[in-house]
Amino acid sequence: MTIKDNVDFSLFTGFNNFDLFSNSIRRSFSYDAYGDKNIFQAVVISQPIPLDPNDSKYFSGKETPRSNKISRFSYRGRIIGSDSPHKFLPDPCNPIYTGEVSATNEIIALHTTFYSSGEVGEVEVLPRIGSLVEVRLEKNAYSYDLSRGVHIKVTKNPSDPSAKTDSCDSIRSIMQSAAATPAWSYDDGENLGGPPLDDPKIEEIYNAYITKYGSNLAPPDGMCGNLPGYPLQKCKVGKIGTRTCTLHPKFFDKVKEMHDLVVSQKFDKTNPTEKINGGGTIRTVKKQISLRIKNAKKKGSVLNTQQYISERSSVCKPPTAPLPTAPGKGSRHIYGCAIDFGGILLHGGTDAAELPDSVARKSKIYKFLLSKEESGFKNYRAEPWHWSIDGR
């Protein structure tokens, strides 16, 4: 364990330094198992999914990519090592847990989704199931954000896409014997990708935002709310479906109630795709900026710093709300008062799901949830997957 801020109180004398003496004892016993560590080794446990479906052939090894032509990608990863934050989860690479596809998929879904931070162009550096990778997690007030992280680089790859690996061959085998998982099942609403949070552009926009609007509109780390009827409270963290979600306690309970009500209807008995799951929840201001940059680029919008902060959500594709510029304004995700459901509400990905005649909109689940709308749980009509306290 790491011992932080240990003070050698023998260097100080005098009664007036008694407070320093007392504090040195308290702080010397303040333990943090991880210290400032945020870089880990992980093993890839799901098929990496590129943002551009046309790039799928590169991840299967069927073609060699042209330089700088691979889109960003995502995958599920399990952090390894004696200090792994994933030690409390079942290991999907252990054959004990990989007897059949659905059980394996459920375990994989419990793990962190990692997103690449930029384009790559060499097949050797593209991850595959079983690749060892270096990843980064964002620390919060209590531990780490284990819902998502950043892919840094591949440290060890199989010699070819069909090669066995020592790290996770059991998953490779079971996935090869099953139907392929559709790419859209890895989608997460508009909460996919974006520049890394330490990107200079994000820092520039964030500093401009804080300078002009201050730091009191968005809730501090570990807190949710600051909206009418949703006062600042410690966020509630728990499972909704197979996903760990972080939301305002009042909204968490409502979302969990609605999710469980949908599951109780057993729509998937007649249609296996009629499923719902927890999804993207709270975001930091910097994460919202990152998504606005990525989604504005996808829409073709050219924005200046102030527009990234405050321009309407429709300048992004999918729509991505601005930052809080006054009390009650901005993305409900920042307040922990919105969720992007997974499952059929994202069928085909965001581009497909938002269409007027999409599978998502025609689904029994979407129609059922619309019939249950009430104050504190409403759909943003442009996105069947996005539900919040007020439909924003």
Q: What is the pLDDT of residue 180?
A: 46
Q: What is the pLDDT of residues 241-288, one digit of tens each?
A: 888 889 999 999 999 999 999 999 999 998 888 999 888 788 899 989
What percentage of residues in the chain have a pLDDT greater than 70? Answer: 71
Residue 7 confidence (pLDDT)? 46
> Which among 98, 224, 100, 114 has a CA at the least distance from the CA of 170?
98
| DSSP symbol at 179 | P
Position 187 scores a pLDDT of: 56
Q: pLDDT for 84-135, tens place per residue? A: 888 888 877 765 554 556 567 777 888 888 888 765 555 557 888 888 889 9
Tell me whether strands 236-240 and 243-247 are parallel, antiparallel or unpaired: antiparallel
Give pLDDT, residue 176: 47
Residue 353 identity: A
335-353, pLDDT tens digit by residue? 999 999 988 998 888 878 8
Q: Greater confidence, 13 or 234?
A: 234
Q: What is the mean pLDDT of residues 296-307?
A: 92
Q: What counts of helices (H) and strands (E) characterise the chain? A: 11, 16
Residue in 127, 287, 320 with CA at minimum distance from that of residue 193: 287
Give the per-residue pLDDT at 190: 62
Of 126 and 384, more confident: 384
Unique residue bearing structure tokens 């690479």: 93
Residue 204 pLDDT level (bands cut at 50, 70, 90): very high
Q: Which amino acid is at 373?
A: E
Q: Where does residue 35 fall: left (phi above 0), alpha (psi -120 to 50 degrees), or beta otherwise?
A: left
- Residue 16 pLDDT: 47
Q: pLDDT tens digit string along 309-344?
A: 999 999 998 889 999 999 999 999 999 999 999 889
The answer, yes or no, to whether residue 186 has pLDDT greater than 60, is no
Q: How confident is the model at residue 29 (pLDDT cuts 50, 70, 90)?
A: very low
pLDDT of residue 157: 74
pLDDT band at 227; cut points 50, 70, 90 = very high
- Smallest Cα–Cα separation from 386: which of 267, 220, 255? 255
Nearest 5°: CA angle at 106, between 234 and 136?
55
Structural domains of the chain in order of their starting residue, each with its CATH number: 2-32 (no CATH), 39-181 (no CATH), 200-388 (3.30.1380)
Chain centre to alpha carbon of residue 230? 23
Q: Which of residues 155 and 285 earns the better pLDDT score?
A: 285
pLDDT band of residue 54 (cuts 50, 70, 90) is low
Q: Mean of the per-residue pLDDT values for the chain?
A: 79
